[in-house]
Every structure is written in structure tokens, then in C-alpha cells.
Amino acid sequence: MNRRTALKNLTMGLGYAVAAPTIMNILASCTAETKSWTPVFLSEDEKVMVTHLVDIIIPETETPGALAVNVPQFIDLMYQNLEKEDNQKLFKQGANLFANKFETKFNTPISKGNKNDIAVLVSEYFNLSHEDSQFVLHQQKLAIQDIPAENIKHYTLYKFLLSVRYYALFGYYTSEKIGKEVLVYDPIPGAYHGCVSLDETTNGKTWTL
């Protein structure tokens, strides 16, 4: 299967929301490449970072984790095929800043990094006070040209981390495996019952559709 050609043909003329779940289905069919996939957008260092980050965000527990449904590959393909050039550049810049921070803190390149060390560094960026969290979120809503020069690196690094988190969650919950095996899936719903609690109808699970 020529995955890249299929994706390019697929995304031409399709809306973002329609294309993303279909990309996940294509990835799910390419199981032979799961362990040794070659990224088309990410560098090898970025592949290491993204793989560990999504595993930290959605680890395997009693339900499958992000790695089980090819979320790193999903992020790679979304940035290659659907993201704007400006966002691609911001992603690369933010990833480079994160890699440099990691090397400074642990005295080892990110390519040699492990999940636990990366989790330690990530926690430093997300264990924030309420005021600092609000500042980060406010900055992320601004265009980069509106960010003061002294805050550009801070803005770009968080842009990278928050983008990985967004796509990890998006890819995970739009995957066929999670939609059918973890969430509540009923392509042909039956009778409508109003004013019924979620626990009564789905055992507390969220609907796929």
C-alpha cells in the first residue's frame, strides 16, 4: 500500500474533520509498519519526542494507549498533509527548543531520552499556578506577531507541547479501535429516551457517534 499517495489523494477537496478519522483507518490497516515506521514530516529526534509524549498523555492501562492506535504516525501525517506551513514551522521550532531543554537538563540528546525523563521535563511545563496557566493559554490564542520578542521561545515551546496533546487526543478518540472498543458505538441507534442519565444508558462511557 502506498500510504502517502493514498493520503494525498484523500485529503484533496475533503474537509479537515472528514479526513482525520479516515487517516486513522488507513493507519490501522498498515500494521506491518507500526514498530518501524519512517516519518514523512517528523525528524528522527521529533519521532522520539512525539512517541514518548503521546505515551505519557495517553498511556496503556486497562484500555489501549495512544501507541496502540498509531497516534504518533497520525500526528506525523496530519502535519505533513493538512497543517499550514506556518504551523509546521512553529512545530519544528518548538520541538527543537524542547530537545535543547532536555539535553541541558539531562546532559544527553533527546534521541537517547526515555519516557520517564521526558515526563519529568513535561511536568515542569504543566505543573503551573492558576495565574501562570492562564498566561500560557492567553498567549496561545494570540498570533505570533503579537507576542513580545522576549516571550517568543516560551510561546513556541508551549505551541509544540499543546499541539502534540491536541492531536494525541484527537487521533486517539477518532480512531476506529477506540471508537468501537472503548467508547459506546451504535451506528444504528434505537429508540430515543429523554432525561436518562449517562450511567443508565452507557455505564458512564461517552458515545462515539
Report pLDDT digits (tens) over 88-139.
Answer: 999 999 999 999 999 999 999 999 999 999 999 999 999 988 998 999 999 9
Q: What is the pTM of this model?
A: 0.76
Would you call 59 helix, strand, or coil by DSSP?
Answer: coil
| CA pair distance 50, 5, nearest whole angstrom | 23
Per-domain residue ranges of the chain: 3-174
Per-residue 3-state assignment (H helix, E strand, C coil) for 131-185: HHHHHHHHHHCCCHHHCCHHHHHHHHHHHHHHHHHHHHHHHHHCCHHHHHHCCEC
What whole-number percentage of the chain has pLDDT above 70? 70
Strand partners, 207: 184
pLDDT of residue 7: 45
- Other beta carbons within 10 Å of 53: 25
11 or 135, greater pLDDT: 135
pLDDT of residue 37: 84
Residue 33 has pLDDT above 60, yes or no: no
